[in-house]
């Protein structure tokens, strides 16, 4: 497991969580641990996101739950055919909480086997702007809550050629992330 990916079990009381999730955010950039507290707290508030849950093999379904100048929050719905491809989050830290099903996270390893980690239901992880990963649904249907700070504007998408060359292209946060190469 990469050092920056910190998994935890079920959510716990925390300052951000105590701030009623989205209604009373502190009005500043949150660090990755605060983002994890936020997504863990939102997992306990399905009234805020369950109406957005639907699934498609053809395009990953997602909905914005919140966006301000400091934080954006999304609910994402996954099938095993929904694959983000390799990407980073530019200058944003982030956190992911799986609220049903499971996700598989992969981290690229140059010169060796990529790191593969199953993130099961009711667990979360967080990361800084240095994190590169790809996510794919690891159950028939899965739902996750994601938070980023500062809010996503651009992301880096990567291709890795058969010869091992890695290239980055900048994409908009409004574009659905998809693999730009074949899985390796
Ligand atoms: Fe990501």
Taking only the tens place, the pLDDT of each residue in 95-134 is 999 999 999 999 999 888 999 999 999 999 999 999 999 9
Ligand 1 centre to CA of 175 (Å) is: 13
Q: How far is the CA of 74 from the centre of ligand 1 (A)?
A: 12
Assess whether pLDDT exceeds 50 at residue 51: yes
With a cut of 90, say whether residue 37 has pLDDT above it. Answer: yes
Ligand 1 mean position, distance from CA 58 (Å):
19
Tell me the CA–centroid distance for residue 83 and ligand 1, in Å. Answer: 11
pLDDT at position 164, please?
Answer: 81
CB 160 within 8 A of CB 118: no
Indicate whether 42 pLDDT > 70. Answer: yes
Instruction: Give distance in angstroms: CA of 15 to centre of ligand 1.
Output: 25
Between β-strands 93-100 and 87-88, what pairing exists: parallel, antiparallel or unpaired? unpaired
Bigger pLDDT: 136 or 23?
136
pLDDT for the residue 2: 35
pLDDT at 56: 93
What confidence score (pLDDT) does residue 150 get?
A: 98
Q: Is the pLDDT of residue 8 over 50?
A: no
Q: How far is the CA of 157 from the centre of ligand 1 (A)?
A: 10
**pLDDT at residue number 6:** 32
Residue 141 vs residues 42, 46, 138, 161: alpha-carbon distances, Å: 19, 16, 8, 30
pLDDT for the residue 149: 98
| Stretch 66-72: mean pLDDT | 95
Residue 67 confidence (pLDDT) above 70: yes
The whole model's pTM is what? 0.87
- Mean pLDDT of the chain, nearest integer: 87
Question: Distance from the CA of 156 to the center of ligand 1, in angstroms?
Answer: 10
Instruction: Kindly give the distance from the C-alpha atom of residue 13 to the centroid of ligand 1, in angstroms, as a whole number.
Output: 25
Distance 12 CA to ligand 1 centre (A): 23
Helices (H) and strands (E) in the chain, counts: 2, 11
């Amino acid at each position: 497991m990469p050092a920056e990916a910190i998994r935890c079990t079920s959510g716990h009381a925390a300052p951000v969580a105590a701030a009623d999730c989205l209604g009373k955010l502190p009005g500043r950039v949150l660090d990755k641990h605060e983002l994890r507290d936020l997504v863990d707290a939102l997992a306990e508030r399905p009234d805020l996101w369950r109406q957005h849950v639907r699934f498609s093999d053809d395009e990953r379904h997602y909905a914005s739950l919140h966006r301000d100048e400091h934080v954006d929050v999304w609910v994402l719905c996954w099938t095993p055919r929904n694959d983000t491809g390799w990407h980073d989050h530019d200058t944003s830290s982030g956190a992911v909480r799986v609220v049903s099903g499971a996700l598989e996270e992969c981290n690229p390893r140059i010169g060796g086997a990529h790191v593969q980690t199953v993130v099961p239901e009711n667990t979360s992880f967080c990361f800084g702007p240095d994190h590169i990963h790809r996510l794919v649904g690891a159950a028939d249907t899965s739902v996750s809550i994601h938070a980023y700070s500062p809010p996503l504007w651009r992301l880096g998408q990567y291709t890795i050629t058969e010869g091992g060359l890695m290239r980055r292209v900048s994409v908009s946060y409004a574009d659905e992330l998809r693999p730009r190469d074949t899985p390796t």
